[in-house]
Amino acid sequence: MIDDWKIRPLGEICDVLDNKRKPITKKNRIEGDIPYYGATGILSYVEDFLFDEQLVLLGEDGAKWESGANSAFIISGKTWVNNHAHVLRPIRTILDDNWLTYNLNHQNLLPYVSGMTVPKLNQGNMRTISVPIPPLPEQKRIVAKLDQAFEAIDQAKANVEHNLQNGKDLFQSQLNEIFSQTGEGWVEKKLGECIKLKSGDGLTAKNMNPEGLYSVYGGNGIAGNHDTYNSEGMQVIIGRVGALCGNVRYLNEKLWLTDNAFKVSKFYYAFDEAFLTYLLNYKNLRSYARQAAQPVISNSSTSDVPLEFPLDVEQQKSIVSQLDELKTRTQSFDGLYNQKLDALSELKKSILQKAFIGEL
């Protein structure tokens, strides 16, 4: 830390305006043009305002407070703030709004958070958060450098994310091209005419054995382990219940299949299992779920789903080889792009770390 930098508690360098904030229940909100803020940002727009100035909000509850979680943000103009965000007016003769926001978002604020069931950054703890205070011109100089660096980093991240999406779009376009065929040797049948689905056996989390040798598959994928199995060999399994119901996997192993998942128990046409897996995933069986307390698919809700496929199993296998090759390539690119995103995030943390110890 540089000699002319000070460390001050947040409560000494900001006016805390929490007593002016006010929640509005959903039923009592009158729609308007004024942003209505909560712990993490805009919740809706209302017709009246509490504040009309630039301020810094910091999540009190319902936010995340680890480093990089962006729990602090600047608002300006006419706004309404509920009681889930602290409202701070920096003392601007000594503190720049952007410096404060960058610093709070860089810090790990979890040590200041209390409450196990409902974590909360209460006002008492919030006021004690330590903030480094260099001279105001130095704050503004560093903020300008951070703005410039982060603009470049954010553009780089946007480019990488665009490339990631391009890879997904390429694979999807290939699926569309293949499964929209109606050429010679292809037929269209209803799912219920092609396969029969059978659910697995009930097994609660309490009755699973975490040390068991066999994976337990439920509605959303692997749900745990068990010391015995109820299904083995090459099989196509489909999530039946849950947020990811309709997901399809082709497996060749011993496993326990719960009653939250199906397996294909009978084939009425000849299928290569890997081809059928691609086809069913392409059909997005999740879109046929019945919406209850949680989404669920059934034999009846999926029986009329149209399936287009070549009758020749060798042709099916050829399509699988083609898709496997493309999938391997796109996954390789995905891995590289995700490494780049991680590296950019680490670069941002490194820059912030240097900024707040005076080494930028």
Q: Can you give the pLDDT at residue 226?
A: 93
- Give the amino acid at 256: W
Element housing 162 (H / E): helix 136-179
3-state secondary structure of 310: strand
| Residue 213, CA distances (Å) to 217, 250, 344 in order | 13, 19, 39
* Paired sense of beta strands 255-257 and 214-218, if any: parallel
3-state secondary structure of 306: strand
Q: What DSSP string runs through 215-259?
A: EEEETTEEEEEESS-SB-SEEEEEE-BSTTTT-EEEEES-EEE-T
Q: Can you give the pLDDT at residue 109?
A: 96
Q: What is the dihedral of CA 266, 268, 274, 276, to 10 degrees?
A: -110
Look-up of token digits 């610093």: 103
Cβ neighbours of 83 (radius 10 Å): 14
Q: Can you give the pLDDT at residue 177?
A: 84
**Eight-state DSSP code of residue 76:** -
Rounded Cα–Cα distance for residues 110 and 65 (Å): 6
Contacts of 211 (CB under 8 A, 6+ apart): 225, 227
Phi-psi region at 77: left, alpha or beta (left = phi > 0; alpha = psi -120 to 50): left
3-state secondary structure of 92: coil
Look-up of token digits 């090759």: 325
Helices (H) and strands (E) in the chain, counts: 8, 19
Q: In terms of Cα–Cα distance, which of 247, 248, 201, 249 is closest to 228?
A: 201
| Residue 2, CA distances (Å) to 11, 145, 272, 352 in order | 22, 18, 68, 16
Q: What is the pLDDT along the chain (360 residues), one digit of tens a residue?
A: 677 899 999 999 999 999 999 999 988 999 999 999 999 999 999 999 999 999 999 999 999 999 989 999 999 999 999 999 999 999 999 999 999 999 999 999 999 999 878 899 999 999 999 999 999 999 999 999 999 999 999 999 999 889 888 888 888 888 888 888 767 889 999 999 999 999 999 888 888 988 889 999 988 889 899 999 999 999 999 999 888 888 999 999 999 999 999 999 999 999 999 999 999 999 999 888 887 668 889 888 899 999 999 999 999 999 999 999 988 888 888 888 889 889 988 998 899 989 888 887
Rounded Cα–Cα distance for residues 113 and 150 (Å): 28
Rounded Cα–Cα distance for residues 287 and 297 (Å): 9
Structural tokens at position 322: 């083609």
Residue 326, classified by CB atoms within 10 Å of its CB into exposed (0-12), middle (13-18) or buried (19+), is: middle
Length of the chain in residues, anyone? 360
* Residues 301 and 289: beta-carbon distance below 8 Å: yes
What global pTM score does this model have? 0.68
